[in-house]
């Protein structure tokens, strides 16, 4: 027993002193400078991210316009009012339609283009990658304004083109009808973020193990067989991550909706983030910061739950891909 105790004492005495004072002076100075350069970022992060998030939870329990002290405590009334508001559920439904439609368009279409651009024999692939990525780096508000001129009225570019081609007999108010306005919003949003999703797929394709494809080529597998039995199964973990990123990105479409349709016609394209904005910065009435905060919290919780679900799907797909790569040896 005493031998064990002596050994423990010896290890404790031999253990290096990890206190800050034991670090050489030159390293301490480097550490201090590093923290000094990080400090402004931490201050801005706390002031413009942490503080607003915390205060939004506080405001949600008050009836407050943003002016004056917080006095009218209403507890859960803002949340109860929100859940009874048909306008909120209309905005939530529109958000789900936009998310589902853009995701259904972006994932397969961008995958097909990524497969083409990933081929070594494809000429000019760097040029095409740049062209398809340009809309991503263009401000969404700028895209919305330009597309409003293209689709916005009877004399817009799309109507003129379709009339001259004989595809239309009369101009269509693309942004003046509920069905067509949402369709235009979905198409423009898909075009705007197409290049980004394509880059996700390209990164996933270039991370696949090359020896697997070389072995398939030696075995005489055709291109369609390689795609069906090797590429797509190995891409499942990447697909789950791309799905997660695409869905989360599609939830935040405020600037595009605000400049393209402003939520119209008759709230047919109003999304949750625009709904929150209208109550928080209402220029025609009295701002309702407390109510808008409660809407933001509810929408944030919904995003969080959806992200957890998609993250679980990503982990499950990754596990299945690992088993596929390990094969019989992994089972043994």
- Which pLDDT band, with edges at 50, 70 and 90, does 51 fall under? very high
Q: What does the pLDDT average to over 71-78? A: 90
Question: Which pLDDT does position 19 carry in this prediction?
Answer: 65
Question: Which pLDDT does position 82 carry in this prediction?
Answer: 93
Sequence-distant (6+) residues with CB within 8 A of 275 are 87, 88, 91, 263, 295
Is 52's pLDDT higher than 50?
yes
Q: What is the CA radius of gyration of the chain?
A: 27
- Which pLDDT band, with edges at 50, 70 and 90, does 324 fall under? low
Q: What does the pLDDT average to over 103-114? A: 92
pTM of this structure:
0.82
Distance CA 146, CA 134 (A): 15
State the residue for tokens 């009218």. 72
Point out the least confidently predicted range of 98-107, 147-156, 184-193.
147-156
Classify domain 87-331 at the CATH superfamily level. Answer: MetI-like (1.10.3720.10)
Is 79's pLDDT higher than 60?
yes
Q: What percent of the chain has pLDDT over 70?
A: 88
Look at 332 and 253; give whichever has higher pLDDT: 253
Q: Where are the domains of the chain?
A: 2-59, 87-331
Is 96's pLDDT higher than 60?
yes
Q: What does the pLDDT average to over 253-265? A: 91
Give the 3-state DSSP-derived string for the chain, with helices as H, strands as E and coil as C: CHHHHHHHHHHHHHCCCCCHHHCCHHHHHHHHHHHHHHHHHHHHHHHHHHHHHHHHHHHCCECCCCCCCCCCECCCHHHHHHHHCHHHHHHHHHHHHHHHHHHHHHHHHHHHHHHHHCCCCCCCHHHHHHHHHHHHHCCHHHHHHHHHHHHCCCCCHHHHHHHHCCCCCCCCCCCCCHHHHHHHHHHHHHHHHHHHHHHHHHHHHHCCCHHHHHHHHHCCCCHHHHHHHHHHHHCHHHHHHHHHHHHHHHCCCHHHHHHHCCCCCCCCCCCHHHHHHHHHCCCCCCCCHHHHHHHHHHHHHHHHHHHHHHHHHHHHHHHHHHHHHHHHHHHC
Q: What does the pLDDT average to over 204-213? A: 85
Q: What does the pLDDT average to over 66-77? A: 88
Question: Which pLDDT does position 283 carry in this prediction?
Answer: 57
Question: Which pLDDT does position 93 carry in this prediction?
Answer: 93
Sign of CA dihedral 57, 62, 65, 70: negative
Is 57's pLDDT higher than 50?
yes
State the residue for tokens 């944030």. 300
Distance CA 298, CA 236 (A): 31
pLDDT in tens, 180-205: 999 999 999 999 999 999 999 998 88
Bridge partners, 73 (sequence order): 62
Distance CA 146, CA 157 (A): 11
Is 20's pLDDT higher than 90?
no
Nearest partner of 149 among 259, 258, 255, judged by Cα: 259
């Amino acid at each position: 027993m005493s031998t064990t105790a002596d050994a423990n004492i010896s290890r404790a005495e031999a253990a290096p002193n990890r206190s800050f004072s034991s670090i050489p002076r030159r390293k301490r100075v480097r550490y201090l400078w590093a923290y000094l350069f990080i400090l402004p970022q931490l201050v801005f992060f706390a002031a413009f991210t942490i503080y607003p998030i915390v205060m939004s939870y506080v405001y949600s329990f008050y009836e407050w316009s943003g002016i004056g002290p917080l006095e009218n405590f209403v507890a859960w009334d803002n949340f109860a009012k929100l859940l009874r508001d048909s306008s909120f559920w209309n905005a939530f439904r529109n958000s789900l339609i936009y998310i589902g439609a853009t995701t259904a368009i972006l994932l397969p279409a961008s995958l097909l283009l990524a497969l083409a651009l990933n081929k070594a024999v494809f000429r000019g692939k760097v040029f095409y990658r740049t062209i398809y990525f340009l809309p991503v780096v263009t401000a969404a508000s700028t895209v919305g304004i330009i597309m409003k001129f293209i689709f916005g009225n009877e004399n817009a570019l799309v109507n003129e083109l379709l009339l001259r081609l004989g595809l239309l007999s009369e101009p269509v108010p693309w942004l003046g009808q509920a069905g067509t306005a949402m369709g235009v919003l979905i198409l423009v949003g898909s075009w705007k973020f197409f290049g980004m999703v394509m880059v996700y797929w390209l990164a996933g394709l270039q991370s696949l193990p090359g020896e697997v494809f070389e072995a398939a080529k030696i075995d005489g597998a055709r291109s369609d067989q390689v795609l069906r039995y090797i590429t797509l199964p190995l891409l499942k973990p990447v697909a789950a991550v791309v799905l997660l990123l695409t869905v989360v990105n599609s939830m935040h479409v405020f600037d595009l909706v605000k400049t393209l349709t402003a939520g119209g016609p008759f709230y047919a394209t109003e999304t949750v983030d625009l709904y929150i904005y209208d109550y928080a910065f209402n220029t025609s009435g009295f701002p309702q910061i407390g109510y808008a905060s409660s809407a933001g919290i509810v929408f944030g919780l919904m995003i969080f739950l959806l992200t957890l679900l998609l993250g679980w799907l990503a982990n499950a797909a990754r596990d299945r891909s690992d088993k596929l790569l390990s094969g019989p040896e992994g089972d043994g």
